[in-house]
Amino acid sequence: MIYSASAVWAEFKTGNPYYYLIRQGLFFMVGFILYCIGSKIPYIFWKKHANLLFFGCLGLLILVLIPGIGIVRGGARSWIGIGDFSIQPAEFMKLGFVIFTAKFLANNEGVMQKNRYFYLYMMIIGMIFGLILLQPDFGSGMILVAGVVLMLFVGGIQIKNIVLGIVVAGIGIAGMIWIAPYRMERIEAFLDPWKDPLGSGFQIIQSLYAISPSGLFGYGLFQSKQKYFYLPEPQNDFIFAIICEELGIVGGIIVLFLFFVLIVIGYQLSKATKDLFAGYMVFGFTSLLLVQVFINIAVVIGLIPVTGVTLPFVSYGGSSLVISMFMMGIIVNVLNTCELDLSFEFGQPKRVSFFKRKR
């Protein structure tokens, strides 16, 4: 699908229709190597080095903001590297922060019911979100925050603190909209994309043009019309629109079903683990996947304002693919090596006791 979505744009931009396909193939090979490494390294290794990993990722988030080190693309200083080969520190922070949080919750069971620890962790989340926002990369920041907050929720946050967090987040989002008018333009485009069809509403209109007429089975593979310079860089955030255009509603449902299976297995495994750290870590990785898939699909079909978020495993992008495959490798190691309790009944509503396992 990356080849189908990108060939026209790649040939126009580079003269090589296979440009994005070749690069994604290289990223896949790196990701597969890391997947194999992640599946072989005992998961307890990540608990022992969680602090080092977290502060290393934090250092990358700071370095990317320094002119001359961080690479600017599309108005965002979100990459570190040389030329076209670069990494996105926000993607690495997802890995580091989830592992750090899993260790914290496993070593301090029930601690999130205490206000002072809740406030402390909210400050840490706010600091990391602020660094990502300075790039600016609102989409990655939201995914990271949502995934970690879900971990804290099953760790036992009090309802009153959940409400407080929602209120503070609402005030913060309002402030971000106020200091960056382009975000208000995106909200206005979400409410009425036809108000500015050649500007802020252009992407969502072209996305809907790709999805709406595709029917049950689409126009056929490689037969997309919107990839001919209508939908900007369709191999990235809006690749799901091209999937639906070429493979129809059936193709789109198959993709969503595969994500659904992966997410359900992840949550089942997180609940079945007898090791508290492993359970929280797998829950965090699965939550990141869930939130990212939801935001990407919701943007593509016009349910929420446009924000730059890739579709995991599908969209073009090296850092996203490599880190996602590495996370899957760690999950596979937990599946293969952690003692599991398969006597639970999945779906029973539990909060504080969700991960009441041995440390």
> What whole-number distance in Å separates Cα of residue 69 and Cα of residue 93?
18
> What whole-number distance in Å separates Cα of residue 197 and Cα of residue 199?
6
Q: Which residues contact 4 (CB under 8 A, 6 or more apart)?
A: 221, 222, 224, 227, 242, 246
What is the per-residue pLDDT across 148-196, written as a single tens digit (0 to 9) for each? 989 988 887 777 777 887 787 778 777 776 766 667 777 777 778 888 7
Domain residue ranges of the chain, discontinuous segments joined by +: 2-355
HSE value, Cβ hemisphere, 13 Å, CA-based, for 206: 24
Share of the chain above pLDDT 90, in %: 46
Question: How many secondary structure helices (H) and strands (E) does the chain include?
Answer: 13, 3
Tokens of 143: 């995914």
Judge whether 3 and 21 are in contact, CB under 8 Å: yes
Contacts made by residues 13-22, CB under 8 angstroms, sequence distance 24+: 20/235, 20/316
What pLDDT, on a 0 to 100 scale, did the predictor assign at position 134? 83
Judge whether 190 and 304 are in contact, CB under 8 Å: yes
pLDDT tier for residue 359 given thresholds of 50, 70 and 90: very low
Q: Is the pLDDT of residue 310 over 80?
A: yes
> What whole-number distance in Å separates Cα of residue 227 and Cα of residue 233?
8
Average pLDDT over residues 82-90: 75
Tokens of 349: 């509503």
Return the CA Rg of the chain. Answer: 21
Model confidence pTM above 0.85: yes
